[in-house]
Amino acid sequence: MPGSASGFKLKGLFVTVEREIDYEVGQDDVDFMGLDIHIPVFFISGGIVVLFVFFAATLQAPMADFFGWLRPTVTGPFDWLFAVTADMGIGVTFYGVSEPVSHFPASLSSHAGTSEGWAPLGGAAGIPFAIVLLGVCPVLWRGLAPERNRLQTA
């Protein structure tokens, strides 16, 4: 289906710009040995890789000096970024597991379903299957965030 609708839409914080185009998705693609290859991207990126390998193989001493200079030049000023991203990755990994797991005992407590309890959806004291749902709900709530935002702005 070539083209798309014309117009300008403003919804919430997101701006959607749509315009008429004559490009059809996949029009420059070729099927080769089961691979869908986009010809312009394939030859440009392939050429860059071949040139890089050629220069690295034929000019080993200058390239060793160049990369010996390049690595500390690039990583030196941004060494703080590596530490921050590692800390964030570790935090997200452990929090991503601990939050749903923490809903399990909270739903079994004596305060489940009351204003004093913190179990989501009012708790599930004495309902085994509801305990499973309480663990899954936070994951689904975050995983469906784009769709939820779309439905709320519609």
Residue written as token pair 């452990």: 94
Residue written as token pair 């407590």: 109
Q: What is the mean pLDDT of residues 4-11?
A: 48
Residue 131: name the closest of 110, 154, 102 by CA: 102
Q: At 109, is the pLDDT very low, low, confident or very high (cuts 50, 70, 90)?
A: low
**Burial of residue 125, with CB atoms counted within 10 A of its CB: 0-12 exposed, 13-18 middle, 19 or more buried:** middle
**Burial of residue 108, with CB atoms counted within 10 A of its CB: 0-12 exposed, 13-18 middle, 19 or more buried:** middle
> Which pTM was predicted?
0.39
Q: What is the mean pLDDT of residues 136-149?
A: 64
Least confident piece of the model among 23-27, 36-40, 76-80, 121-125: 121-125
| pLDDT tens for each residue of 33-58 | 888 888 888 999 999 999 999 999 99
- Per-residue pLDDT, 32: 85
| Percent residues over pLDDT 70 in the chain | 54
* R_g (Cα) of the chain, nearest Å: 27
* 37 DSSP β-pair partners: 30
Task: Report the relative pairing of strands 29-32 and 35-38 from DSSP bridges.
Answer: antiparallel
Structure tokens at 116: 């004093």
- Per-residue pLDDT, 88: 80
What is the 3-state composition of the chain as percent helix, strand, coil, each rounded to the nearest 5? 60, 10, 25
Question: What DSSP designation does 121 have?
Answer: G
Q: At 80, is the pLDDT very low, low, confident or very high (cuts 50, 70, 90)?
A: confident
Residue 106: name the closest of 95, 117, 121 by CA: 117
